[in-house]
Amino acid sequence: MNLWTLVSTIIISFGLTASPAYRMPTVVVNSDNTEATLNLETRQVKESKLPFKVDNNSLGVKLTATSAAVMDKSSGIVLWQKNAEEVRSIASISKLMTAIVFLENRPNWNDLVTMEEKDETNGNKPNILRGETVRVSDLFYVALVASDNNAAKALVRSTGLSEVEFVARMNEKAQELGLINTVFYDPTGLTAENKSTALEILKLAEEAFSYEDISDVTATSRYSLRTQGGRSDMIYSTNWLLNSYLDVEAGKTGYIGASGYCLVTQVLGKDGQRIITVVLNSETNDHRFYDSKVLSSWILDNFIWS
């Protein structure tokens, strides 16, 4: 155990208070309950409550996910991890970066966009059909709530950037955030080459969920769509945890064959603590929600913030 890990273990075990100038090293509990110091960027902790593990004999939970990680949002401390530095396909979790770059372009939410043939993909069933006209705000909701790939491509087109230019900005933003193992090749996540790690998705999600537009929309369980032609449809979220006992403030699903079933969520605890949980390559659609739910619940039950 190195010095930083020893100091951090003392802090987590005995509740020492970090001064405003103290930079907390990132300490995690591995899936086998060992500790490790990781290179996830640390931050200054200013008068915020810090998480401390209550029962060091509690070994965590068994997941079907290949990779997973949980972070305390306030301090940036990674609380638990499993293969969290393994680079994997991330599917539609990519749309969080798509949403960030889209918002950087200061959209006019009331602008109208007509769906075109070039927006069509081989992914999920589209919710907006070719030739239908909707507001930019509709595209944003449908892309993030239903994870609609056609809507995501039309959203990119609405910025005036080419898809190549837009994806280049996605990669620039990843580098700005220090996501050195994250790369994007398309804005939808349909390509298996969009890749990241569980640790870096924690940082991506933290950035994305800091945008109220993204957190609010991804916490929406259903959205009433009405096209300019008068067709109405109810759009349902792909994130089933929105209807669970957890207080899910934001989240994004992802799935293609290469990625397996993926999910990132931000959950609010009963005492106001916020955690971000990532699971990658869960065995089934049901399992990703089970994995995320039991892992988030275990963290909230086995850590205290003081």
> What are the pLDDT digits (tens) for 57-96?
887 899 999 999 999 999 999 999 999 999 999 999 999 9
pTM of the model: 0.86
Nearest CA-CA partner of 141 in 243, 267, 225, 252 = 225
pLDDT tens for 161-189 read 999 999 999 999 999 999 999 999 999 99
Pull the structure tokens for residue 152: 């995501």
Taking 60 as the threshold, does the pLDDT of residue 13 lie above it?
no
Domain 89-238 of CATH type 3.40.710.10: yes
Q: Is 57 exposed, middle or buried (0-12, 13-18, 19+ CB in 10 A)?
A: exposed
| Whole-number Å distance between alpha carbons of 133 and 82 | 44
Domains of the chain, by residue range, sit at: 3-87+242-305, 89-238
66 within 8 A of 88, measured Cβ to Cβ? yes
Q: Reply yes or no on whether 306 is catalytic.
A: no
Is residue 196 part of the annotated active site? The answer reads no
Residue of 147, 158, 196, 292 marked catalytic: 147
Structure tokens at 277: 């949980």
Active site residue 125: no
Tell me the one-letter amino acid at 272.
G
Which is catalytic among the residues 75, 92, 158, 296?
92
pLDDT at residue 36, rounded to an integer? 44
Q: Which residue has the tokens 């059909």?
A: 129
C-beta of residue 64 within 8 angstroms of C-beta of residue 283: yes
Long-range Cβ contacts of 296-301 (<8 Å, 24+ apart): 296/70, 296/246, 296/265, 296/267, 297/246, 298/58, 298/60, 298/61, 298/80, 299/70, 299/79, 299/80, 299/275, 300/267, 300/269, 300/270, 300/273, 300/275
pLDDT bracket for residue 24 (50, 70, 90)? very low
Q: How far is CA 66 from the centre of its chain?
A: 16
Place of tokens 């089934």: 284
Q: What is the mean pLDDT of residues 137-162?
A: 98
User: Which residue out of 53, 82, 95, 203 is catalytically annotated?
Assistant: 95
